Structure 1
Amino acid sequence: MSISSTALLIVDMQKGMQNPAVGKRNNPTAEANVGRLLGRWRDAGAPVVHIRHISRSARSAFAPGQVGVEFQEALMPLAHEHVVEKNVPDAFIHSSLEKWLRIRSITEVVIVGVSTNISVESSARSAGNLGFGTSVVSDATYTFDKIDYDGQLHAASVVHAMALANLDGEFARIISTEQLLDEMQRFT
């Protein structure tokens, strides 16, 4: 992995995701792991993309003007870091993300953020289908409890594991923060 041709995509790390009303979640250290990776990318001067969900519904916590739409303080973009706004889960749909990556000769992406089974999974599927070498960091992503069509509640850890299983090998490789940092140490 060449860090100069690998972008860190930070998906939906917004204040609204910290609201307890969103539900029970897994990976309580995900933000710290995202922060560690963000620090490593910044130290290397490598490309970072902050992706923010902007809802089309005025009642959403992610609607323009709502506190929930703001980036979490610890993961705030720097002035020179690219910000992509999206209205659907997939960061590549109706955005300039693919063009931005290709213009910069970026061939690989590392995806972190929330939620594993929605925005992370859909963005990773597109990245893989578009030919980017795609990695999803298992402990720098998280999701929430989910009720299925039969009315059965599934713990966030189970929903998270299934989303990663859906991606693994087909669209992306799944890696931990420690594994990725070790790999970067060897190749940079």
Structure 2
Amino acid sequence: MQIPAPELPDLDRLALIVVDVQRGFDDADHWGPRNNPGCEQNIAALLQEWRARGRPVVLVRHDSTQPASPLRPGQPGNAFKDLVAGKADLLVTKHVNSCFHGQPDLDRWLRDRDLAGIVVVGITTNHCCETTARVGANLGHQVVLVLDATHTFDRRAPDGSVVTADELTRVTATNLHAEFATVANTEHLLLAGDALLASDR
């Protein structure tokens, strides 16, 4: 989805929230068709940017309580994908969609560090990423959702029709835009970092 360059808040005061980038989401038999094959590459680029600039990084892991879920603790799919390996400032574990309803308390952690808000990336766009953005905004945090650093899966609607992952992504962007979050793409955040570096020279 092509997004015009948005006006971004001060990225140095935002934590990068990496949501549920776990091996279990590679199970296509369980989840069905996905979109955005470049998601992981974009997450990796943002992780590199945040770590290089000394900005805070939060990894979030979904410990599913559903018996058939590949994300259950003790299953190989519960583990993070290799791309998120490395230093993190906080690990949050959760059983529900919102990263603000996990342990430890993400809202309190952000406030204790006088951070202005969050940059949300990860899996899936319309579930844990969108819910985290909504709750974060309701709690008073600035929120940036990096749309092309998320992905989701086709879903069956109540009437039996299939809503594609791309359409769900477009709807999430529409739901959040200008009310709950600034919706951006990876290049917008990387270019903002390059501009900041140039201004410091």
TM class, shorter-length: over 0.9
Query: 1:158 is matched with which residue?
Result: 167
Query: 1:135 is matched with which residue?
Result: 144
Contact 1:2 1:187 in 2 (8 A): no
1:121-162 per-residue CA deviation (whole Å, 9 max, x = no partner) reads 000001111111100011101110011111111111001111
Which whole-Å CA distance do the structure 2 matches of 1:58 and 1:106 have between them?
37
Which whole-Å CA distance do the structure 2 matches of 1:180 and 1:147 have between them?
33
Gaps of 5+ in 1: none
Q: Secondary structure at the match of 2:171?
A: helix
Query: 1:56 is matched with which residue?
Result: 65
Which whole-Å CA distance do the structure 2 matches of 1:4 and 1:138 have between them?
20
Q: With the length of structure 1 as denominator, give the TM-score of the two structures.
A: 0.95
1:4 Cα offset (Å) = 3.2
Larger mean Cα displacement after TM superposition, 23-32 or 90-99: 90-99
- Percent identity between matched residues is 37
Larger mean Cα displacement after TM superposition, 90-99 or 31-40: 90-99
Query: 2:188 is matched with which residue?
Result: 179
1:1-188 paired onto structure 2 within 5 Å: 1-21=9-29, 22-78=31-87, 80-95=88-103, 96-187=105-196
Contact 2:22 2:77 in 1 (8 A): yes
Which whole-Å CA distance do the structure 1 matches of 2:102 and 2:40 have between them?
27
Structure 1's 146 and 8: CA in aligned 2 closer, same or farther, altered over 3 A?
Answer: same
Structure 1's 108 and 27: CA in aligned 2 closer, same or farther, altered over 3 A?
Answer: same
Structure 1's 92 and 27: CA in aligned 2 closer, same or farther, altered over 3 A?
Answer: same
Residue type of the alignment partner of 1:74: L
1:166 Cα offset (Å) = 0.7
Residue type of the alignment partner of 2:42: N
Q: Secondary structure at the match of 1:140?
A: strand
Which whole-Å CA distance do the structure 1 matches of 2:112 and 2:196 have between them?
23
Q: How many correspondences in the alignment?
A: 187
Gaps of 5+ in 2: 1-8
Poorly superposed stretches of 4+, deviation over 4 Å? none
Q: With the length of structure 2 as denominator, give the TM-score of the two structures.
A: 0.89
